[in-house]
Amino acid sequence: MGVSPYTIGAMALGASAAVALGWRARHWWRLMKREALTQAGFEQTKARIQEEANRVFNLTADELQSALQRQNYSLDRASGLRLWTYLRQGKPIGLRGEPGIGKSQLAEAFAQAMGYHFIDMECHSHLEADEIGISWNGFKQIVDAQAYRSGEQAPNLYTLEYLNNTPLLESLLSNRPTVVRVDEVDKLNEHTTNFFLRYLDKKELVVHNLAEPGSHKVLRATAPLFVFLTSNEYKRLDTAFMRRTVWLDLQFPTEAALATIVQNTVGVPADFAARVSRLIHQLRQLNLEKKPAIAEAIEFTRALVDVCDGRITPEAIDATIGFLAKYPEDEVIVKEALRRWYDGFGRTA
């Protein structure tokens, strides 16, 4: 009895299905194998990168935030995590935010928290490259050259000994971890900014006529070096500068966070700190040219404790209003708002 055409068709379909199933199995097997190799390669890379990052900065994000809090410096969790990420990669960290928000204090608090050497560099438009980077002490060179006598070995006047101890040179020659704060970097002139790029990019300086025995003409940092730059956006920094830096925008803290900062910094009771924080936040809602920032909140609280027995009264506000309003127009706005908020504010002390 012969095989029916239907049976032959079914067998053919079955064979085709088996072939297709086998192809899919092999395809998925190859995909799984490739994914396993990719994951293994990723884990190796991750281990290497984390090892490198640990050599630069080995605290966890929570440990960093706790260390800063012990210095009475508070960061919200998102900003703390971003700062930690930047530190782990050793990138120069730019800080933006309104005046008094704590840009300059962050670098100093970080150095104190970690026990690192701290170098401060103030910027202005007339600051020249040789004042911050490489310059020779010509007076010392002349004195030592004149002291040289015939028959003696001529002094080498182009060694590290004759370089001026500028902020950037000091940071590179430091034998322990160092924090450099570059305040108001946006005020640097174009020439000094361009000179600064190599230092930011590679943490090194070139000394073209250095004749130090056994030394190269390129001086590099041998210890971990952390650079913090602050900017009030006096001018827009160019793309070459921005490529070499990462930026953290500091935001004004929430009412609860500000109360904690005031309490920890000034040492006042929690309820009093909360009242001050609420007042500061209310004032910041007004259309002021200069809104009170963290620094003003702390100064205002100290003044209340010092001369006003800690009472927030109309008279106390009148005596301390200089901490809250910086311009005559702002003072008028603040007084008018407080007159509405506090009964009898119009009375004289």
pLDDT tens digits along 194-218: 888 989 999 999 888 888 776 678 8
> What residue numbers bound the domain in which 279 lies?
255-341
| pLDDT (0 to 100) of residue 345 | 45
Q: Which of 198, 217, 249 is the last residue of a domain?
A: 249
Nearest to 294 by CA among 311, 316, 312, 273: 273
| pLDDT (0 to 100) of residue 171 | 94
Q: Where are the beta strands (DSSP E) in 72-153?
A: 93-96, 117-122
Q: Which long-range contacts (CB under 8 A, 24 or more apart) does 234-239 make?
A: 234/184, 234/186, 234/187, 235/186, 235/187, 236/186, 237/185, 237/186, 237/193, 238/193
User: Mean pLDDT score of the chain, rounded to an integer?
Assistant: 86
> pLDDT category, 242, cuts 50, 70, 90?
very high
Nearest to 261 by CA among 72, 27, 6, 29: 72
Q: Are 268 and 289 found together in one domain?
A: yes
Amino acid sitting at position 242: M
The domain tally of the chain equals 2
Nearest to 64 by CA among 113, 104, 112: 113
| pLDDT (0 to 100) of residue 169 | 92
| pLDDT (0 to 100) of residue 349 | 38
- Whether 54 maps to a domain, the answer reads no
Q: What CATH number is attached to the domain comprising 81?
A: 3.40.50.300
Q: Are 193 and 277 found together in one domain?
A: no
Nearest to 252 by CA among 287, 187, 296: 296
CA distance 297 to 288: 15
CA distance 302 to 265: 10
pLDDT tens digits along 267-316: 999 999 999 999 999 999 999 999 999 989 999 999 999 888 777 777 88
Q: Are 274 and 326 found together in one domain?
A: yes
